[in-house]
Amino acid sequence: MAGPTVSKIYCWQIKFGDLNIYMASTKKGAIRIGLALKIKRDCTDFFKKIFPSTDLFKDYRANKLLIRAIEDSMLNKQTLRMPDLDISCSPFQWRVYEAITKIPFGATKTYGKIASMIGMPEGARAVGQALGKNPLPLIFP
């Protein structure tokens, strides 16, 4: 979901059991998280299909806060410091992402409840579509 002006993306990957977690950041912040079961690929290969005209580099330091946030999420812990973000989304999608950050840690809400939280009680399907396009699924669960 990066804009066309992104020329460099810094990638890293970590593993939890059979789950491979791929992450990408720009100098501005986290841009994408990808998940794959059992199949392990190099992080630059993973993101080459998503960002075909962007230079990809392996860089742990550029993803350090994102790694910590992902590890906390996987360990069912609340993250104390969220990474900066560099995502492009519609105003509606952003309202959905902001709303789900207000759900208490460990709690769950239906799409209908989230739609009500943003003032659109009939918008459950739209909320589901917004979450289906979520570029940072472990940050915005």
Q: What is the pLDDT of residues 46-81, one digit of tens each?
A: 999 999 999 999 999 999 999 999 999 888 887 778
Question: Which residues, 6 or more positions from 33, have their beta carbon under 8 angstroms from its beta carbon?
Answer: 21, 22, 23, 24, 66, 70, 135, 136, 137, 138, 139
Q: What is the pLDDT of residues 5-18, one digit of tens each?
A: 578 999 999 999 99
CATH 1.10.10.10 fits 91-132, yes or no: yes
pTM for this model (two decimals): 0.85
Q: What is the DSSP letter of 63?
A: G
**Is-contact 101 141, C-beta < 8 A?**
no
With vertex at residue 131, the alpha carbon angle to CA 125 and CA 133, rounded to the nearest 5 degrees, is 110
Distances in whole angstroms, Cα of residue 42 to Cα of each of 21, 36, 60: 11, 12, 13
Confidence of residue 1 (pLDDT cuts 50, 70, 90): very low
Averaged pLDDT for residues 21-41: 93
Distances in whole angstroms, Cα of residue 24 to Cα of each of 100, 112, 135: 22, 31, 10
Domain ranges of the chain: 8-74, 91-132
Q: What is the pLDDT of residues 83-137, one digit of tens each?
A: 999 999 999 999 999 999 888 877 899 999 999 999 999 999 999 999 999 999 9
pLDDT of 5 reads: 57
With vertex at residue 19, the alpha carbon angle to CA 16 and CA 25, rounded to the nearest 5 degrees, is 85
Confidence of residue 4 (pLDDT cuts 50, 70, 90): very low
